[in-house]
Amino acid sequence: MIKIDPEKGVLTVEGAEQEKAIPFSSPEAFEVLSHLWLRCGFDNKYVYGFTWLGRPILQLPEDLVRIQEVIYSVRPDWIIETGVAHGGSLVFYAGICKALGVGRVLGIDIEIRPHNRRALEEHPLRDYFNLLEADSAASSTLLEVRRMVGEAAKILVILDSKHSKDHVLKEMEAYAPLVSVDSYLVAADGIMREVAASPLAGKDWVWNNPLSAVEAFLARHPEFRREEPAFPFNEGQVRQRVTYWPGGFLRKTSSERI
């Protein structure tokens, strides 16, 4: 149980055997409250209330700011995103590419619904992205992806389609060779493990989630390292991201398995 008393400036966490008082204005209290906020927001489908340049975008706003920081740092020639849905993230990444004057986005989904495809094909940023309707983990899809990206020097991959452990792991194995050194392979929505007790969660989310895929992948891919991108600017006290993508950023440190 958690008790909050802003007037006294104390947040109290009550456990089964002990009680811990935390200064309300401390980074530790912020972290405790952020985890509660994430869980409550998940239960209330908070991320289902935003659009980006006209397209629904099912992402936590902080995650968008943070991935923008990564894109600005890496300056990829291609951003490959699996999972298109309404296309909001696709448009978000495309806008960054346009602003930077470099890069293009490839959005892959096993089904791009006609009304979403139509809206995306008519979007003002249409010249900055490609759509590919296919199974993101299929070998035939990878052949087409390789054909499209060609000899691009810098590639960033964001996996945000089906979030089962098996599928994410298949995607990671498939797209890892495309990721350039010092760029990232990103597995979205590791929050599933943290919200496994939610009434909206699947019964197997404790283990069947992107974080489990990340852990299995890292065990056999030492050329990747789990690495939270550094804050380019931070004059505050908060050092941890408030995110739906915990533990999902894998930086490629070598072109070959060590």
Of the pLDDT bands very low, low, confident and very high (cuts 50, 70, 90), residue 14 is confident
Q: Is residue 257 part of a domain?
A: no
CATH code of 143's domain: 3.40.50.150
Q: Are residues 90 and 28 in the same domain?
A: no
Spatial CB neighbours of 246, under 8 Å, sequence gap ≥ 6:
190, 191, 194, 211
CA distance 225 to 187: 13
Q: Average pLDDT of the chain? A: 97
Please tell me the predicted confidence (pLDDT) of residue 18: 84
Q: Quick: pLDDT tens for 141-195.
A: 999 999 999 998 899 999 999 999 999 999 999 999 999 999 999 999 999 999 9
Structure tokens given for 39: 């869980």
Please tell me the predicted confidence (pLDDT) of residue 257: 61
Q: Is residue 85 part of a domain?
A: yes
Share of the chain above pLDDT 70, in %: 98
- As a whole number of angstroms, the longest Cα–Cα distance in the chain is 62
Q: Are residues 28 and 73 in the same domain?
A: no
Q: Is the pTM of this model over 0.85?
A: yes
Please tell me the predicted confidence (pLDDT) of residue 1: 86
Domain limits at 207? 53-252
Instruction: Give the number of other CB atoms < 10 A from CB of residue 191.
Output: 27
The three-state secondary structure class of 167 is helix
pLDDT at 113 over 90: yes
Q: Quick: pLDDT tens for 33-70.
A: 999 999 999 999 999 999 999 999 999 999 999 999 99
Q: Are residues 22 and 80 in the same domain?
A: no
